């Protein structure tokens, strides 16, 4: 009887004992999705920084020395081709034009006088030639003396000399008239120098003079940038061979790291600087509102593809300045620091920290901890 009671008590205690949890079974039912570290072909890309500049820039300067009377624009103003920019004092130019007008009129009158002198000299020469012919006929008939013939010949030669002189004076008058007309054209052109206009559509990027200043030849008064812009970046000599004209490239303008990247195209590649061992690449930018010369920008160039390790972008965990992934180690998520490379769609290059074939948690929750096996948010 005692033996039966002891056996029943033992069975009851065994039945009431709590069965321990199997950690492997808990991990096996963990709902977290995983992905394997794999190899993929990623395009080789590199970035270069630079400055946005206008494709064409003009320094507006005077051709003559004259006081500035008015500046019609401010820095930042948009201007159309031919719009007035600067007006200079034109009193001297106007006076020079008046003198040129007078010179042209005088040369025209002198030319008319020289033409009249030629006609008179030619008429006189014609008369002396006829007189000489009559005297010579009379001399042959013994009706005129040799002295009368000599006088007729001398008069004809003097008349011919007068014709030659009159024609020379006419040629000089014609030359003087041409010079006066050229001086008049120069004076007219000089009056146009008093009004400086925009050479093309653009933006006034700098203003260097105010009314009252003295404009000198070659001294910039304004700087005008064209509306077409380009990004000029510097690429080191080792990568210069990966860049060519018309090559597509992505550009980012602005200092914000979240600024959008836009497609563009390489317009020009300068020669390699032998001192800096670099090359300036000029990238044509698409038109965009608010884009101004002088802004900072970056360009991203693509090169040959390379074989590298990748994980899903969603698997990357950032904590401060460090980056991690949760590696599944013996069924448990283990926080592993990694060094990241470039992004490629939904994948992210991993330079170090994991090996090909390892499993990582592809979408870890914000509450997941190192070694957590519950799969529940904490």
Of the pLDDT bands very low, low, confident and very high (cuts 50, 70, 90), residue 6 is very low
CB neighbour list of residue 318: distance below 8 Å, 6 or more residues apart: 324
> Average of pLDDT values for 315-336?
90
CATH class of 61-86+195-225: mainly beta
- At 92-117, the pLDDT tens digits run 888 989 999 999 999 999 999 999 99
Whether 231 shows a pLDDT value over 60: the answer reads yes
Of the pLDDT bands very low, low, confident and very high (cuts 50, 70, 90), residue 142 is confident
- Which residue did the predictor score with more confidence, 24 or 141? 141
Could you tell me the two tokens for 297? 């920008």
The DSSP-derived string for 159-227 is HHHHHHHHHHHHHHHHHHHHHHHHHHHHHHHHHHTTEEE-SSSEEEEEE---TTPEE-BT-EEEEEEES
Of the pLDDT bands very low, low, confident and very high (cuts 50, 70, 90), residue 241 is confident
Distance between CA atoms of residues 249 and 265, nearest Å: 6
Distance between CA atoms of residues 112 and 118, nearest Å: 10
Whether 378 shows a pLDDT value over 50: the answer reads no
Lowest pLDDT segment from 3-12, 55-64, 119-128: 3-12
> Average of pLDDT values for 143-150?
88
- At 199-212, the pLDDT tens digits run 999 999 899 999 99
Angle at 356 between CA 352 and CA 361, to 5 degrees: 85
Of the pLDDT bands very low, low, confident and very high (cuts 50, 70, 90), residue 24 is very low
Q: How far is CA 181 from CA 157, 187, 293, 308, in A?
A: 36, 10, 45, 78
pLDDT at 31: 60
Taking the CA atoms of the chain, what radius of gyration do you get in angstroms? 48
The DSSP-derived string for 273-342 is BTTTTEEEEEEEPPP-TT--TT-EEEEEEEEEEEEEEEEEGGG-EEETTEEEEEEEETTEEEEEE-EEEE
CATH 2.40.30.170 for the 48-53+227-304 domain, yes or no: yes
Please give the DSSP secondary-structure letter assigned to residue 22: -
Question: Is 348 in a helix, a strand, or coil?
Answer: strand
pLDDT at 11: 35
Q: With pLDDT > 90 as the criterion, what percentage of the chain qualifies?
A: 52
Q: How far is CA 213 from CA 62, 77, 88, 216, 351, in A?
A: 12, 21, 10, 10, 62
Using N-to-C axis directions, what is the helix angle for 91-140 and 146-192, rounded to 10°? 170
> Average of pLDDT values for 121-130?
92
Distance between CA atoms of residues 282 and 275, nearest Å: 19
Whether 28 shows a pLDDT value over 50: the answer reads no
- At 182-199, the pLDDT tens digits run 999 988 988 888 999 999
Whether 3 shows a pLDDT value over 50: the answer reads no
- Which residue did the predictor score with more confidence, 45 or 49? 49
Q: With pLDDT > 70 as the criterion, what percentage of the chain qualifies?
A: 90
Whether 373 shows a pLDDT value over 80: the answer reads no
CATH class of 25-42+307-361: mainly beta
The DSSP-derived string for 32-54 is --EEE-EEEEEEEEEEEEEEEEE
pLDDT at 273: 86
Average pLDDT for the chain: 85
Q: Are 57 and 172 in contact (CB under 8 A)?
A: no
Whether 222 shows a pLDDT value over 50: the answer reads yes
Nearest to 340 by CA among 331, 351, 330, 332: 351
- At 267-312, the pLDDT tens digits run 999 888 888 889 999 999 887 767 778 889 999 998 778 888 999 9
Whether 375 shows a pLDDT value over 80: the answer reads no
Task: With residue 10 as reference, give the H or E element that holds it.
Answer: helix 2-16
């Amino acid at each position: 009887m005692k033996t039966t009671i002891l056996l029943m008590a033992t069975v009851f205690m065994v039945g009431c004992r709590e069965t321990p949890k199997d950690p492997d079974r808990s991990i096996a039912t963990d709902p977290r999705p995983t992905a394997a570290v794999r190899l993929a072909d990623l395009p080789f890309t590199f970035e270069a920084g630079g400055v946005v500049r206008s494709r064409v820039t003009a320094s507006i300067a005077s051709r003559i020395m004259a006081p500035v009377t008015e500046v019609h624009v401010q820095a930042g103003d948009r201007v159309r081709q031919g719009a007035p920019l600067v007006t200079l004092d034109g009193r001297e130019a106007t006076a020079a034009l008046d003198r040129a007008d007078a010179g042209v009129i005088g040369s025209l009158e002198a030319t008319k006088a020289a033409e009249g002198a030629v006609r008179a000299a030619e008429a006189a020469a014609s008369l002396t030639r006829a007189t000489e012919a009559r005297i010579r006929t009379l001399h042959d008939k013994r009706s005129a003396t040799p002295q009368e013939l000599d006088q007729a010949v001398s008069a004809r030669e003097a008349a011919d000399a007068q014709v030659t002189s009159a024609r020379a004076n006419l040629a000089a008058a014609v030359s003087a008239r041409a010079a006066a007309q050229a001086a008049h054209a120069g004076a007219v052109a000089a009056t146009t120098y008093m009004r400086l206009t925009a050479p093309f559509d653009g933006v006034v990027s700098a203003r260097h003079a105010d009314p009252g200043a003295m404009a000198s030849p070659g001294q910039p008064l304004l700087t005008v940038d064209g509306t077409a812009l380009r990004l000029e970046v510097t690429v080191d000599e080792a990568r210069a061979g990966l860049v060519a004209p018309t090559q597509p490239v992505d550009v980012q303008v602005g200092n914000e790291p979240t600024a959008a990247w836009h497609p563009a195209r390489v317009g020009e590649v300068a020669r390699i600087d032998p001192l800096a061992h670099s090359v300036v690449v000029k990238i044509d930018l698409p038109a965009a509102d608010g884009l101004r010369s002088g802004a900072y920008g970056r360009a991203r160039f693509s090169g040959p593809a390379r074989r590298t390790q990748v994980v899903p972008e969603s698997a990357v965990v950032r904590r401060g300045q460090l980056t991690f992934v949760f590696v599944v180690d013996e069924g448990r998520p283990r926080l592993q620091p990694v060094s990241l490379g470039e992004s490629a769609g939904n994948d992210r290059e991993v330079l170090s920290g994991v090996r090909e074939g390892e499993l990582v948690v592809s979408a870890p929750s914000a509450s997941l901890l190192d070694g957590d096996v519950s799969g529940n948010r904490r």
